Amino acid sequence: MGESAPKILVIDDDPDFVDTVRAMLRSGGYRVITAIDGKQGLDRVREDEPDLIVLDIMMDSMYEGFSVMSTLRGTPEFVDYRDVPIVMVSAVKREYGSRFTLPQGGEHLQGDVYLDKPVNPKVLLETVARLLEAGA
């Protein structure tokens, strides 16, 4: 893993999930940085300029991930990072039986890809590779 390896930011408050995803991504040759909540995640975006973000929807609040997404995609402060691909992850389907439905006009809150937890390693690596390739 050299300096040229793509850098992935994982924003999630579940340390077990972060450890698992970090191992999956490192096995794919990626550099991994992490944040435990939305605020720290946004700070890391500015500090580390990731090539892709894996973002949990439910952290401190049920919609924290959507708040991070809205800030990244909709505020002038983050205009330079607006095109960073985002993989949204959530256990909401497992816990509640269905996914979130976005309100009308909420398209900007949608990530590039949505994966249900537990995340399949092969699917995650294929998704990351595809998004990075599309943005290259």
- Residue range 94-105, pLDDT digits in tens: 444 444 554 455
Strand arrangement of the beta sheet that strand 7-11 belongs to: 31-35, 7-11, 52-56, 86-90, 113-116
* Better-scored residue on pLDDT, 63 or 136: 63
107: amino acid identity, one letter: E
Task: Please tell me the predicted confidence (pLDDT) of residue 98.
Answer: 45
Q: Is the pLDDT of residue 40 over 60?
A: yes
The predicted model scores a pTM of 0.87
Please state which CATH class domain 7-135 belongs to. Answer: alpha beta
Torsion, Cα of 36, 23, 125, 56 (10° steps): -20
Give helix then strand counts, H and E, for the chain: 5, 5
Closest by CA to 111, choosing from 128, 125, 133, is 128
Question: End-to-end distance of the chain based on CA atoms, in angstroms?
Answer: 19
Give the least confident one: 32-41, 54-63, 90-99, 114-123. 90-99
* pLDDT band with cut points at 50, 70 and 90 for residue 107: very low
Q: Which two tokens stand for residue 4?
A: 């040229």
Share of the chain above pLDDT 90, in %: 62
